[in-house]
Structure 1
Amino acid sequence: MSQDNDNAAKTYRYDICRAPFHGVCESTAAIATLIAIRGYGADEGGTADIIKSLLNAAPFLGLLLTTFFIAVAGKTGARATRIVAFYLFVCGGLLMLSSVAGGLIGFTLCFVGAYVIFSQQAPMMISTYSRNYTPQERGQRVSTVLLIGSGSSAAFSFLGARLLDWQFNWFPAILVFLGVSCIVNALLVRQIPSDPLEQAETGNPLRSIKLAWSDKLFGWLLASWMLMGFGNLMTIPIRVEILANPEYGINATNEQVLLASMIIPQIASLVSAKIWGALFDQMNFIFWRLCVNTCFFFGMILYFNGPSLSVVYLGSILLGLGMGGGRIGWNLWVTKIAPMEKVSAYMSVHTMFTGARGICAPFIGYLVLTAFSPPAVGWLAAGLIFVSSSMFAILRRNERFSKVL
């Protein structure tokens, strides 16, 4: 077996092993909010609302800072996956510390710090994937890892919620479990072969940010992705609001709200992930992205304009299908245009823009909902996705998508 094949096999093996632990640590904002409200009394009020916003915004705040973190990481000369392992060790320690923080402020500082650091993995991992996997296998292998991670995330959320319903005072045990999962994740990811980051990928963070306008294709794609991501993210909290709040007419049961907003989209995402991964490896990237956007476009229209729950559920399926492709695209799309020696730098700029829209978009969604109506939110989101798709379509014949893999 050649060295390249050996690296690919080893990467896949350890990535599969760490995926369940990674998934457990990914979706914790809802549990953190519950702990803040019911464990530390952060019900209502200025400070309490700020703290709950911080808990939910922590991953996006981390993404906003990736270009600065990668500049520091590059100076260490350490292998990419060792840097990721270090981040995960620190994250695990902060999560375990949050279990004994003893107060709302201490818990919030530890939890937010943990997830700011947890969010720094993407540029290092994409550098590893771009070197260890060929373009013909990259999407399929990473999609399997994402599928396992999503499944474990859903299972942990369900079991964690059940545990809190049964005995809420056990929430420190959940935080300890999260911390241990991060540390196990760190031990496994450390075994994945990788190289130190290239000098072109690190250095002054402003040099990385400059890629957004010095590379015109990259800048155009970032703008297209920004519109698409903004349209999606602004609706995520609203999807629960319009079903649960009697003011908007549906007044669904708790089970129906969870089905439409979480369970159905998650199942559709899991079922479609491997298909999207295979298509990502084989199809023209722009056509692939347009297929994903089409699912989001019609999903938004049906979900926010559905006259009945059955139509809302159909919208949920389409949104879930879009999510299945969207996660793969978010993690890997820069490999389609970035030179290998700069892939982490490109990814750090992409994650920074994701952080910016992740912090702002939910506020815009609520402003539109308050000023207008649920259908207005859906049509605005669909409109942004349509404009984004049109911008993607302009690039369908760009030669860089066939030259840079």
Structure 2
Amino acid sequence: MNEAAATTAKTLRNELWRSIPSGVIDTLTATFGMLIAVRVFHMGDVAKSVFLSATSGGMVASLFVVPLLLRAQSTVARTAAKVQLLGGLCMAVSAAFPSSPLLYIGGLSLGLFCFTMQIPLMTQIYRINYPAEKRGKLYAITGVTRAAAAVCFGFAGGKLLGWNIGNYVWLLWAFAASGIVSGFWTYGLPVIAWEAPANSSTSLWNSMRWVREDRDFRTLLISWMMMGIGNLAAACLFVEYLANPSHGINLSEFNVAWITGVVPVLARVVFSYPWGLVYDRFHLFTVRAVLNVFFAAGILCFFLGHSLFWWTFGMALWGMANAGGNVTWALWVTKLADKHAVAEYMSVHTFLTGVRGLVAPSLAFAMIKVMSFDTFAIVCGVTILSASGFIGVRARSNSESTDRLRPGARKERL
């Protein structure tokens, strides 16, 4: 086995093991964090918005991770691992003081902040350690494991809370342990020294230059902003809609966990690998546009259905779209950027994702105060579909620039 193949194999092995604790943490952001906030602490909109904005805050901060790494002359994998370990320790604070609403929100929010802050570093690792022709497939394989872990933990966690809501303390310790284990497996990834050009700027805003210089990058960022606002606003209210008695539904803890936490992740298990193959074989603009249609359909079915069947079916559609969305969200910059500019491209992408994520929770709660959930769903769906129309214009061009996004016509730049 040559060195490149050995690096790919070791990266895949470690990422498969890391996907298990990552799947557990996924249930915190998707279901249990909000469910505990509503049912245990009876938190208001401000506190819930703080929690929902934690991952977005980390994404905003990610813009500054790359220049700081340049200054530190560190390695990508070990830097990412240390940030993940810190996130696990922050979550342990919440578990150690489970009766404090402030420490619950603070510890979990800081933990999620850390985990999202290091995303550009992981994307840089995938760009260097995974070959281009099967990068989507390899990422999807770990995505299936991650989703399966989330399904199992979501089911078990829902049962625990159904038996006794006080069992949420065990969930908090599971989240903290998962953060630490994730950092352990990341630390063992093949060490990647930072190899940015010698004239690279260490300005904290230097990565933003790619928005000006790369038209395709700029086009996709605008489209992703349009789609993301609608999708994130809707996702913020999935648990709220089913669990808060003030909305007239008030399902049991297990049913809320099953519908919002298990069903969409089961769909991810089934569809992650096929979407990985699609990512490798089709034009990026086409994949993104199709995914938007499925996201919009899932949201409309969920909020307009008004029955257990439609809530479940909507979450299944949304989960199917999320399977492909996870692959494209994490890897699309690898089709655009030079080898050692991937982390910079990704830091801009995550920064803007974080900006809309910070806006989305407050926007969502404000919208349902002035409109029905039906109207809310239609607004979100139209916003998401508009994003597909926006990139459709660019996708029809036959420029050399867009050719780099076509499988077979693309040669990765060194």
Q: TM-score, normalised by structure 1?
A: 0.88
> Which residue matches 1:69?
65
- Between stretches 237-246 and 290-299, larger displacement belongs to 237-246
> Which residue matches 1:337?
336
Equivalent of residue 84 in structure 1, options 80, 85, 93: 80
CA gap of 1:155–1:378, structure 2 versus 1, over 3 A, is same
Specify the code of the residue in structure 2 equivalent to 1:322. Answer: A
> C-alpha displacement at 1:308, in angstroms?
5.3
Equivalent of residue 51 in structure 2, options 31, 44, 55: 55
> C-alpha displacement at 1:145, in angstroms?
0.9
> C-alpha displacement at 1:314, in angstroms?
3.7
CA contact (8 A) 1:128 1:194 kept: no
> Which residue matches 1:16?
16
> Which residue matches 2:143?
146
Structure 2 distance, partners of 1:139, 1:158, is 28
Q: Identity over aligned residues, as a percent? A: 27
> Which residue matches 2:374?
375
Alignment of 1:96-111 (within 5 A): 96-101=92-97, 103-111=100-108
Equivalent of residue 163 in structure 1, options 151, 160, 163: 160
CA gap of 1:295–1:341, structure 2 versus 1, over 3 A, is same
Specify the code of the residue in structure 1 equivalent to 2:91. Answer: L
CA gap of 1:202–1:314, structure 2 versus 1, over 3 A, is farther
Structure 2 distance, partners of 1:105, 1:248, is 26
Structure 1 distance, partners of 2:165, 2:250, is 26
Q: In the TM superposition, what whole-angstrom CA distance separates every residue of 1:43-83 from its partner, at most 9, and x where no partner exists?
A: 35xxx653333223211111111012332223222221111
Number of matched pairs: 399
CA contact (8 A) 1:248 1:374 kept: no
> Which residue matches 2:403?
399
Specify the code of the residue in structure 2 equivalent to 1:199. Answer: A
SS at match of 1:210: helix
> Which residue matches 1:287?
286
Residues 1:322 and 2:321 are matched in the alignment: yes
> Which residue matches 2:25?
25
Structure 1 distance, partners of 2:298, 2:167, is 38
Alignment of 1:234-313 (within 5 A): 234-242=233-241, 251=249, 253-254=251-252, 260-306=259-305, 309-313=308-312
CA gap of 1:75–1:100, structure 2 versus 1, over 3 A, is same
Specify the code of the residue in structure 1 equivalent to 2:74. Answer: A
Structure 2: 5+ residue runs without aligned partners? none
CA gap of 1:322–1:37, structure 2 versus 1, over 3 A, is closer
Q: In the TM superposition, what whole-angstrom CA distance separates every residue of 1:103-142 from its partner, at most 9, and x where no partner exists?
A: 4434443332222111122111111111111121111111
Q: In the TM superposition, what whole-angstrom CA distance separates every residue of 1:156-215 from its partner, at most 9, and x where no partner exists?
A: 233234334545555444433333322222222222114223436872221112322332
CA contact (8 A) 1:202 1:345 kept: no
Specify the code of the residue in structure 2 equivalent to 1:144. Answer: I
SS at match of 2:54: helix
> C-alpha displacement at 1:27, in angstroms?
2.9
Structure 1 distance, partners of 2:36, 2:301, is 34
CA gap of 1:78–1:265, structure 2 versus 1, over 3 A, is same
> C-alpha displacement at 1:6, in angstroms?
1.1
Structure 1 distance, partners of 2:308, 2:164, is 33
CA contact (8 A) 1:91 1:118 kept: yes
> Which residue matches 1:358?
357
CA contact (8 A) 2:35 2:243 kept: no
Structure 1: 5+ residue runs without aligned partners? none
Structure 2 distance, partners of 1:350, 1:113, is 21
Q: In the TM superposition, what whole-angstrom CA distance separates every residue of 1:328-354 from its partner, at most 9, and x where no partner exists?
A: 111111111111110000001111111
Q: TM-score, normalised by structure 2?
A: 0.86
